[in-house]
Structure 1
Amino acid sequence: MSLVHAGPGRAGSAGPVHPAGGRGVRRTIAAYAALAKPRVIELLLVTTIPAMFLAGREIPSPWLVLATLVGGTMAAGSANALNCVIDADIDKVMNRTKRRPLVRDSVPRAGALVFGLALGVASFAVLALTVNLLSAALAVATILFYIFVYTLVLKRRTPQNVVWGGAAGCMPVVIGWAAVSGTVEWPALVMFGVIFFWTPPHTWALAMKYRDDYERAGVPMLPVVATPRHVAKQIVVYSWVMVGWTLLLAPATSWLYTAFALVAGGWFLFYAHRLRAAVERGERTRPMALFHRSNTYLMVVFCALAVDSAIGLPVLGLPFG
């Protein structure tokens, strides 16, 4: 039988792939991409670039930024994909996560595992070959911490899971700093702390909204095991510490960053206190409003850090190095 294409729809033709086949490939690619949780990665990358700016107090090499972002994206994608494999049972019973690829069987479990491991190996190779060995080692350490410490140990056992497990989400700033300087100095640790103290208010606001989901899944998030009043109080406490921590970068920056950190901090604290006041009065709360504002807050603070570093205004104190 001839396999020469003899027109659309002709049986036995070897013409272009049927549209359904093309859609199937696209769906598969999209499913694997969803395992990496790209929306989560976006926020991590927003903090990495300003850290690179601050490390040199100038605009870093575009090629270095690109290589660091590619390697960092692979590392974060690896951690997220492996997390999806481990937490597939949780995702099945949570409304917020029930459309993830492993729950919908759009990706085989073995395929997701191989994908996550391959991304981790690729992230190390990219960073080691194009950036430096320190940033590559930090990326691998972050993946291992996220999987073995947060996902396997903390997440299902303690309401402090996101407090200590959130350290993994703080590492992109350290990796970005190491990519430029080849070291880890005090401003990198301060930026780490900013995100460390930002994570609980950010995550607990989300968990207040999806409390029933977490309870059904058996995940002891703070809003599941504590009263709304206690959760709101903890959000305010961590918010104050977070804002105060941002000011520790003042000696390594100029008045520009400090001004933005103060204004943005005051703005965020207003909404954190408003949430607590609503809880205290027994009114209907809107924790997701604080959740979304926490994303905006972090972007404003770190973008101000990048602009401050790019402009190169005189620092307020002795920087580093």
Structure 2
Amino acid sequence: MSAAPAALPAESAERPDGGPELGLLLVPPKARTGWRLVPARVVAMCAVELQKLRHDRTELYTRAVQPALWLLIFGETFTRLKAIPTGGIPYLDYLAPGIIAQSAMFIAIFYGIMIIWERDSGVLTKLLVTPTPRAALVTGKAFAAGVKAVVQAAVVVVLAAVLGVGMTANPLRLLGVAAAVVLGSAFFSCLSMTIAGIVLTRDRLMGIGQAITMPLFFGSNALYPVDLMPGWLQVVSRANPLSYQVDALRGLLIGTPSHLALDFGVLALATGLGITAASALLGRLAR
């Protein structure tokens, strides 16, 4: 019995009509190795997280209600009172960058709930047995939270512009605003995932998240200058990454004096530490 003819190499396979080769359909693409592996996995995880927005866009609209109320009620009222020294700029202009940072933080600070939900549904266990490094999983989720926060920040910027806030239209400065929002949100989402790895339950995470959001917000320079705070609160403010995010946003959006190199350096360092801590505790969630 004659041997069966050898199969043609995948790269030589052609359609009967002389069309393009089918090699890409028959042979899987080469796996990424070396330095390209982690960035590719981070981008993939970020894309997976962002796909969820296609199924529930109402989350972005409902989360815009709270910052809108801050601008419309708190901002307009204190602009008339002139009770807070802002260096000669209208209080609404001073407040708008702080509300952008606040809305981004509120999105990210409960991101750990999603991790616990993935643990309960078995998704997290499946992710952890893949070759994807844990740091890549955490980083992808963190920067997906940052991209969501950028969309939220865009809504607040439009609302602030409608209210007459004088903000820059410089594309480079707006890119800097997006970078500050992404870094800040990435840190707070990592903080949330770290807390999730410690408390392990959604109820505890919700309680801790609610307990720390207001102190983080009021213990920053989002609503008033640091110089107005008592000494102990000034120390808290200088250790609070939200203060550096707000400082960067004010400098980029409305041109107030800021320390952009320090602000972005602190945000990048805090994000790196957050990714490290969340990665170390990710396996504890799956036990």
Q: TM-score, normalised by structure 2?
A: 0.30
Q: Which has the larger radius of gyration?
A: 2
**TM-score, length of structure 1 as denominator length:** 0.28
Task: Return the structure number with greater relative CO, CA threshold 8 A, min gap 6.
Answer: 2
